[in-house]
Structure 1
Amino acid sequence: MTQTIVFDPLVPLALLIAAAVVVFAGLALALWRGLAGAWLRGLGGVVVIAALAGPNLQREERGNLNDIVVIVSDESASQKLAERAEISSTATDRLEQTLMERDGTDVVRVTVPDGQGDAGTQLLTALNDTLAELPQSRIAGAFLVSDGRLHDLERAPDMPAPLHLLMSGKSSDWDRRLSVTNAPAFAILGEPVTLTLKIEDMGAAPAGTGFAPLEISIDGGPPQRFEVPVDADIELPLTLPHGGRNVIQFTVPSADGELTDRNNTALIQMNGVRDRLRVLLVSGEPHPGGRTWRNLLKSDSSVDLVHFTILRPPEKQDGVPTSELSLIAFPTRELFLEKIEDFDLIIFDRYKRRGILPTIYLDNVVRYVQEGGAVLVAAGPDFASADSIYRSPLAEIMPAAPTARVIEQGFRPTISDLGNRHPVTAGLPDTQNWGRWMRQIEVEPSAGDVIMTGVDDKPLLILNRVGEGRVSLIASDHAWLWNRGFEGGGPQLELLRRLAHWMMGEPELEEDALLAEATGQNMRIARRTLKETAAPFVVTSPDGSTTELSLSETAPGRFETQFTGAEIGLYRLNDGTHETVIGLGPAAPREFEKTIATAELLQPLIDDTRGGVARLEDGIPTIRTVREGRPAAGRGWLGITPRGAYETLNVRQTPLLPAWLVLLLASGLILAAWLREGRR
């Protein structure tokens, strides 16, 4: 029980102060006048002022509250390395038992697993959240049982008591880590890009590890092995083999004695893009569509266009001397023999045989396509004539043969059933409002896919693969009407862009492909096919286990499904025809970036609370009681600070100056003063 004096004034404080001023002023006047009973009158006034202040004797009955000690146990992935989990669990159990055996001490134990996604160890977040739910006046200390590798230092709490670290891990631990310090998300095809890697030996690494083997694999293929220096930046020039996503895996084989090999792999996903699309446009003669082709191609800043229009064919005889003509000679040999490989796409726009391109040059175009080139033929009336380029070596790669009929009537281009499934034409906008074309060349398809039709469903746009290359045939020379806005026009620019990208083999426009996109540890798998169904496929996880999945159609020609990987790493997808690889999450999760136990991160926070660090390999320290403000750690011991918290069970107040006593004292003092003054 505690006793204190408290005041409960009967009048406002301002009035009480005014009354006190009046009393002391009267006392001063009486003393100045020399009144014999002045001091008695002053005491009487003091009694009245004291009574108005309402003094009470307060008695409190208090109950002592137990101190609270928080134990935060780190059970993240890095704590499962070597023997850390067992040592930490044993130490936590013994510490909890020791604290519970102390009188007046409660223990709150918190377990911290891996953070969501790749957030790492959220140790201080857990401590902060726990302290927020507990009364701060009872916190006597906190113990972190961890390897000290945490990833939320910004959540450090304001500790009212000592903070200690019981550090797992051994002083003899060592680990090897592979990291990629510089890796762009995109790279230009055909040009080397420089990646920066580093292999680090951390902790008590054995001597003689100046070099380490490095294995490099692209898209899950056979790895190449190199010997590289340790603890030094390695600049690696790399040229991507294909467009789209390239999955590059760097691996350092596990060494004897290192803590883990989870950080021995780095997984990089880079997109291969083309710097420029080099296009050769050969117009057989001037016509309204020629300028449209040129304008469309020149409007794209990523296109390098070389355009030749044949204005003066060899058979033209007008008597004008060649020396007086300001025309550029068609550099056929340079373009079709020496530099044909420099072009990504060759367009023949209403071109016909006139002796300008000898047969050997056209044979070279056929070889160019078979080895991976692309040719687009925009056919005009000449394609149906005896001078048609179909009647040349190019017939070997043409997907359709002309019937010699030219249809001169208006028609609205239509996407075929197959075209609705093909990514070049699927989903083109405003298909119902396209303007008409006025001419179509009748052809008979011999290969490839008809994705657009014209008059009476006759083939209008045909795509075909030839060897490693691709060929497209537009059986009309009136596509330019769309660009002029005739009858509302049409999506000529979008169609040409898709067509060019398909011919370049861009993955997003492949009509027969197995694709995957990753978000964290989830992947969306898509199968593009021109068939009505898609076969199931098998997912091979990093540990070698397999899962068979089926797909459902989400759009014409597109089948999709979702898959969540149980672990982080490289996954292989195979449907029997196609195979692709994709990486889920980082190859080396945040928990395994640095694995050597350390107190460096927590040391400033521990020092601020006068706490300490103890290695569990040296044994579990004893627990002592220390006064607040004193050092709470020493050799072989850690301390907690008793807080002396209590709860008030009962409060009683007794007036020190009851009314009858005030009346008796005040009247007695005033009467005594009157009598003394009267005698005198």
Structure 2
Amino acid sequence: MSGLSVIFAPLLPWQAIWIAGGLAVVLLVLALWRGLRGWALRALAALALLAAIAQPALQREETEPLSDIVVLLDDRTTSQRLADRADQTDSAVAGIAAQIARLPNTELRRVTVPDGAGNAGTELGAALAEALAAEPRSRVAGMIVVSDGQAHDAGLIPEMPAPLHLLQTGRQADWDRRLLIQTSPGFGIIGEETQIRLRVEDLGAVPASAGEMADLTIAVDGGAPKSYTVRVGRDLELPLVLEHGGQNVVQFSLTPVEGELTTRNNEAVVQINGVRDRLRVLLVSGEPHAGERTWRNLLKSDAAVDLVHFTILRPPEKQDGTPVSELSLIAFPTQELFIDKIDEFDLIIFDRYGERGILPAAYFANIRSYVERGGAVLVAAGPEYATVESLFQTDLGEVMPARPTGRVLSEGYLPRPTALGLRHPVTAGLEGAPPREGEPTEEGATHWGRWLRQIELANPVGDVVMSGARGAPLLVLNRAGEGRVALLGSDHAWLWDRGFEGGGPQLELLRRIAHWSMKEPELEEEALYAEIEPGTLTLTIVRRSMAETVPPVTITRPDGTTEEVALSETAPGRFTARWTAPEAGLYRLVDGDLERVVALGPAAPREFENTIASPEPMAAALAASNGGVTRLEEGVPSVRQIADGRRSTGLGWIGITPRGAAATVGIEVHPILPAWAWLVLAALLSVGAWMLEGRGHPRRTPPSGA
């Protein structure tokens, strides 16, 4: 094809040419007013001069027609695999592609839309925008989307240059029941009720057989489920009591009903971190000493700890005649603390406490029973532990993890983790820990400062995790019944707090001892848990153990199949393995008696939030583009070419608008006249006007008598 047009290449700015043209018009009007006969020729001469300045030329363009483009979006997200939607999609894509291939001068661009990353759902809007950006908008004759219509980013659909059509999968008889978790707390107090708000909804063409009630079960960490019967379509608040600290995985399941579209949205998983309301600690200091402040600072620095602290300033044997009315001491409420309210405490600490008759002997028997019922006792021993006033000589001695020999070692020594301590979570990984006795010290390494006193301990029961002077046990941890007892055979931890010889991690060590005593999950010797990489289905399985080797961990998938994963030791007492799950869901990790439930992926996948096919999310974009909706349940529509602005959809057909776009393949430019020719023409016209005007006046004669 070719086209002819006139172009200009002016020698002066267009403003100057217009001014000159205006001046020529003024002169033409003046010539008409005076009645000059050559005004027409003068006008043509002025026009020729202006043309010489504007330099008009003829431009010839050679063009070739371009084909129209039809974009076909093929939705292959997870919701498109429900029922027979995949077959509907395959049939529609094949039918549309065949019809477009038969249309003259028309090309098809097919785009497949997968699941959005990170539970983003169906990103049809982004796919449409990307497809349009890749093609010239002047050639796009239509956009066809084969989908269930559930576009989760419909607001991103751009303005369409041609009709946008939705070929909707699914069937009008589809219905589904889903479970929605509306609110769930991130944290819950152990032993107290936590409220979770949820809702059971029916969507689509719900049959009467579905009923108005639904059976719901709740299981925590894969344990025995509790069953409830709930009403459909009503907000519900269900109570939940967390029984342990750390991560609690709560699984909600609806009993499937025959005929519903999918059961994938019948389950939901939430993870709630179990925390203690307040840790109640009783600290009893036998006498004032330099290390007393260390314990108090440690416990008061934790906002979650309620501390009750008593220091015995005046033992019973001290009789100096001071009137009682002049004493400013608080009476030690032994009956209330060690009989009436002892079970309210999570931990009892005896700091350099010696038995001097302040507590009756029967009270120590009650403290021992408190430990055996699940309580915790921590003893920071001073010289009194090696005497007849030792707590070991009371009924509490039955659960103490080591016996004093009666010797106090008053010499400098370096506290060291034992071989067992390097694996135990209380002492493993403490910064700056010195090597074990007999092992070489790294050059330039800085280690902890020395302690200067230790009570010699013998016959340790439990785990000796630190040793001190002469290799004697320094820190011994043991379980007694349901409870725990920790014994620190020195009162010189405060030297680290004061920075003696460089100090040491006294606050971290004492914190770990106290929290281990209170059964904090992060300090359990035998533990199994998983660290999930955010936004992925990959997790790191962590097995903490005091053993040298551990067996493989058995993983049970959501479909019930199992897999064994071998672990390798990456740090003392820590075995790990990195594993990627094949799909989102609930996975159970088992190693002997240890079990952990892990939720991978979204608790409720977005693709299954609303599984009923509907054009509503795309309705605004369809209307704005003059497009429409066709249900594939009624068959694949035929494709027609229609004029722009005409109705683009009808019974059994959809329309695309041919754009008639073309590409320029060549340009030729030829001046109408050269510049000199315009000047000659203007000169000839001017002379002709002058001659015409000269013939029009009579010849003048001289007067008579001249």
TM-score by length of 2: 0.92
Equivalent-residue separation in structure 1 for 2:509 and 2:55 (angstroms): 95
Corresponding residue of 2:298: 296
After superposition, what is the alpha-carbon deviation per residue over 1:53-100, rounded to whole angstroms, capped at 9, x for unaligned? 333333333322221111101111100001111012101211221122
After superposition, what is the alpha-carbon deviation per residue over 1:282-318, rounded to whole angstroms, capped at 9, x for unaligned? 2223333334423332233222111222334344444
Does 630-639 or 12-21 show the bigger shift?
12-21
Cα deviation, residue 498, structure 1? 1.3
Equivalent-residue separation in structure 2 for 1:609 and 1:291 (angstroms): 76
Q: 1:283 aligns with which of 277, 282, 285?
A: 285
Cα deviation, residue 412, structure 1? 2.5
After superposition, what is the alpha-carbon deviation per residue over 1:586-621, rounded to whole angstroms, capped at 9, x for unaligned? 243111111001111000011111111111112223
Corresponding residue of 1:408: 410
Cα deviation, residue 132, structure 1? 0.8
Corresponding residue of 1:120: 121
After superposition, what is the alpha-carbon deviation per residue over 1:161-199, rounded to whole angstroms, capped at 9, x for unaligned? 111111111111111111111112111222222111111
Q: 2:362 aligns with which of 360, 367, 371?
A: 360
Equivalent-residue separation in structure 2 for 1:654 and 1:408 (angstroms): 113
Equivalent-residue separation in structure 1 for 2:317 and 2:665 (angstroms): 118
Cα distance change, pair 388–641 in 1 and its aligned pair in 2 (3 A): same
Summarize the alignment of residues 332-371 of structure 1 with structure 2, pairs less than 5 Å apart. 332-371=334-373
- Structure 1 residue ranges, 4+ long, deviating more than 6 angstroms after superposition: none
After superposition, what is the alpha-carbon deviation per residue over 1:407-458, rounded to whole angstroms, capped at 9, x for unaligned? 1222232222222222212222344443332211100143111111111111
Contact 2:478–2:484 under 8 Å retained in 1: yes
Cα distance change, pair 18–438 in 1 and its aligned pair in 2 (3 A): same
Corresponding residue of 1:234: 236
Equivalent-residue separation in structure 2 for 1:561 and 1:366 (angstroms): 41
Contact 1:65–1:646 under 8 Å retained in 2: yes
Contact 2:55–2:675 under 8 Å retained in 1: no
Equivalent-residue separation in structure 1 for 2:333 and 2:695 (angstroms): 145
* SS of residue paired to 1:602: helix
After superposition, what is the alpha-carbon deviation per residue over 1:437-490, rounded to whole angstroms, capped at 9, x for unaligned? 221110014311111111111111111122221110011122223333333333
Corresponding residue of 1:384: 386
Q: Percent identity?
A: 56
Equivalent-residue separation in structure 1 for 2:262 and 2:75 (angstroms): 18
Equivalent-residue separation in structure 2 for 1:661 and 1:485 (angstroms): 104
Contact 2:159–2:625 under 8 Å retained in 1: no
* SS of residue paired to 1:390: helix
Does 308-317 or 163-172 show the bigger shift?
308-317
Equivalent-residue separation in structure 2 for 1:176 and 1:33 (angstroms): 96
Contact 1:216–1:225 under 8 Å retained in 2: yes
Equivalent-residue separation in structure 2 for 1:306 and 1:660 (angstroms): 112
Q: 2:477 aligns with which of 457, 463, 485?
A: 463
* SS of residue paired to 1:288: coil
Contact 2:177–2:265 under 8 Å retained in 1: yes
Summarize the alignment of residues 349-498 of structure 1 with structure 2, pairs less than 5 Å apart. 349-431=351-433, 432-498=446-512
Counterpart AA for 1:91: A
Q: 1:504 aligns with which of 518, 537, 544?
A: 518
Unmatched segments (≥5 aa) in structure 1: none
Equivalent-residue separation in structure 1 for 2:669 and 2:295 (angstroms): 101
Corresponding residue of 2:439: none
Cα deviation, residue 51, structure 1? 4.0
After superposition, what is the alpha-carbon deviation per residue over 1:390-421, rounded to whole angstroms, capped at 9, x for unaligned? 11221221111111111122223222222222
Does 517-526 or 255-264 show the bigger shift?
517-526
Cα deviation, residue 19, structure 1? 4.2
* SS of residue paired to 2:392: coil
Cα distance change, pair 152–323 in 1 and its aligned pair in 2 (3 A): same
Equivalent-residue separation in structure 2 for 1:300 and 1:40 (angstroms): 106
Equivalent-residue separation in structure 2 for 1:296 and 1:74 (angstroms): 59
Cα distance change, pair 678–310 in 1 and its aligned pair in 2 (3 A): closer
In the comparison of the two structures, how many residue pairs are matched? 680
Corresponding residue of 1:70: 71
Cα deviation, residue 204, structure 1? 1.1
Cα distance change, pair 674–433 in 1 and its aligned pair in 2 (3 A): same
* SS of residue paired to 1:526: strand
Corresponding residue of 2:438: none
Cα deviation, residue 577, structure 1? 4.2
Contact 1:183–1:196 under 8 Å retained in 2: yes
* SS of residue paired to 1:12: coil
Contact 1:445–1:459 under 8 Å retained in 2: no
Cα deviation, residue 253, structure 1? 1.4
Summarize the alignment of residues 637-676 of structure 1 with structure 2, pairs less than 5 Å apart. 637-657=653-673, 662=678, 665-676=681-692
TM-score by length of 1: 0.95
Counterpart AA for 1:373: G
Please tell me whether residue 31 in structure 1 is matched to residue 32 in structure 2.
yes
Corresponding residue of 2:185: 184
Counterpart AA for 1:454: G
Please tell me whether residue 613 in structure 1 is matched to residue 629 in structure 2.
yes
Cα deviation, residue 220, structure 1? 0.7
Equivalent-residue separation in structure 1 for 2:373 and 2:627 (angstroms): 72
Corresponding residue of 1:604: 620
Cα distance change, pair 309–676 in 1 and its aligned pair in 2 (3 A): closer
Q: 1:258 aligns with which of 250, 254, 260?
A: 260
Does 512-521 or 218-227 show the bigger shift?
512-521
Contact 2:7–2:59 under 8 Å retained in 1: no
Counterpart AA for 2:450: R
Please tell me whether residue 562 in structure 1 is matched to residue 578 in structure 2.
yes
* SS of residue paired to 1:306: strand
Does 133-142 or 56-65 show the bigger shift?
56-65
Unmatched segments (≥5 aa) in structure 2: 434-445, 697-706
Counterpart AA for 1:224: K
Equivalent-residue separation in structure 1 for 2:60 and 2:311 (angstroms): 110
Contact 1:71–1:110 under 8 Å retained in 2: yes
Does 655-664 or 358-367 show the bigger shift?
655-664
Cα deviation, residue 362, structure 1? 1.6
Cα distance change, pair 342–648 in 1 and its aligned pair in 2 (3 A): same
Corresponding residue of 1:13: 13
